[in-house]
Amino acid sequence: MAASMEECSVDAEIQQEICAKWAIPSLKTHQKLALWAVVVAEQDCIVCVPTGGGKSLCFEAITHVGEFVNAGLQNQIVLVISPLVFLMNSQAEKMNNSLRIRAVSLASVSENEMDRLRRGEYRCVFTFNSAFSLISGILFYKFS
C-alpha cells in the first residue's frame, strides 16, 4: 500500500536547508517523496520526470542530507542511470567541485576511479544502461 503525502513528510528544517543550499523557494512533491523514500523510509527510489523536472536535485539532496540525517545511509551509493554522457560528466563534476559530494561518471572512468568505486569511496555513481553490467557485480558484492 502506498503512503499518503502526509505520511511522507520530510522534516521542515531539512527542506529549508535544501532550498537554501540550492537557492530554490520550495521542493516539488516528487522531490519530497524521493527524499522521504530514501532518507526516512530507507527504500530504493526511481524518479522519472521530464527534462527540467528536478531529478538532479533529488540525487544531489539525497547524497547531501543522507549522511547526517540517517547514519545508515553513510555507506550507500546513489546510482543515476542516464543516456546522456555529457550530462553525466558535468553533473559528476558539479557534485565533486561545487557541492563537495564524491561522485563519478562511468562514461569516462579511469582505472584509479574504478579502484575507488570498488572501495566504496563514491556517494553518487552516474552510469548508462550498457555500462550498468560493468558495475552491477561491484555494487552487488558491496551491499549484499
Which stretch of 41-45, 96-100, 128-132, 139-143 has the lowest confidence by average pLDDT? 139-143
The reply to whether 46 and 88 lie within a common domain is no
Q: 25 with 54: CB under 8 angstroms? A: no
Given 36, 71, 106, the domain boundary residue is 71
Residue 84 has pLDDT above 60, yes or no: yes
Residues 67 and 113 in one domain: no
pTM as predicted: 0.70
Ranked by mean pLDDT, which of 33-42, 59-68, 70-79 comes out on top?
A: 33-42
Question: Does residue 42 share a domain with residue 20?
Answer: yes
Are 3 and 57 in a shared domain? yes
CA distance 107 to 79: 13
Task: Check residue 61 and give its pLDDT.
Answer: 83
3-state SS, 93-107, equals HHHHHCCCCCEEEHH
**In this structure, are 46 and 97 located in the same domain?**
no
Percent of the residues in the chain that have a pLDDT greater than 70, as a whole number: 76
C-alpha cell, 27: 521542493
Give the CA-trace dihedral at 126, 46, 118, 61, to 10 degrees. 70
CA distance 11 to 19: 13
Where in the sequence is the domain holding 101, given as residue range(s)? 77-144
Please count the residues of the chain. 144
* 53 has pLDDT over 60: yes
Residue 81 shares a structural domain with residue 64: no
Please indicate, yes or no, whether residues 94 and 141 belong to a single structural domain of this protein: yes
If one compares 130 and 104, the residue with the highest pLDDT of the two is: 104
9 and 54 together in one domain: yes
Q: What is the DSSP letter of 126?
A: E
Give the best-scoring range by mean pLDDT among 44-48, 103-107, 138-142.
103-107
Split into its structural domains, the chain has a count of: 2
Q: Are residues 90 and 133 in the same domain?
A: yes
Residues 51 and 66 in one domain: yes
Residue 70 binned pLDDT confidence (cut-offs 50, 70, 90): low
What is the structure's pLDDT at 142? 44
pLDDT score, position 108: 75
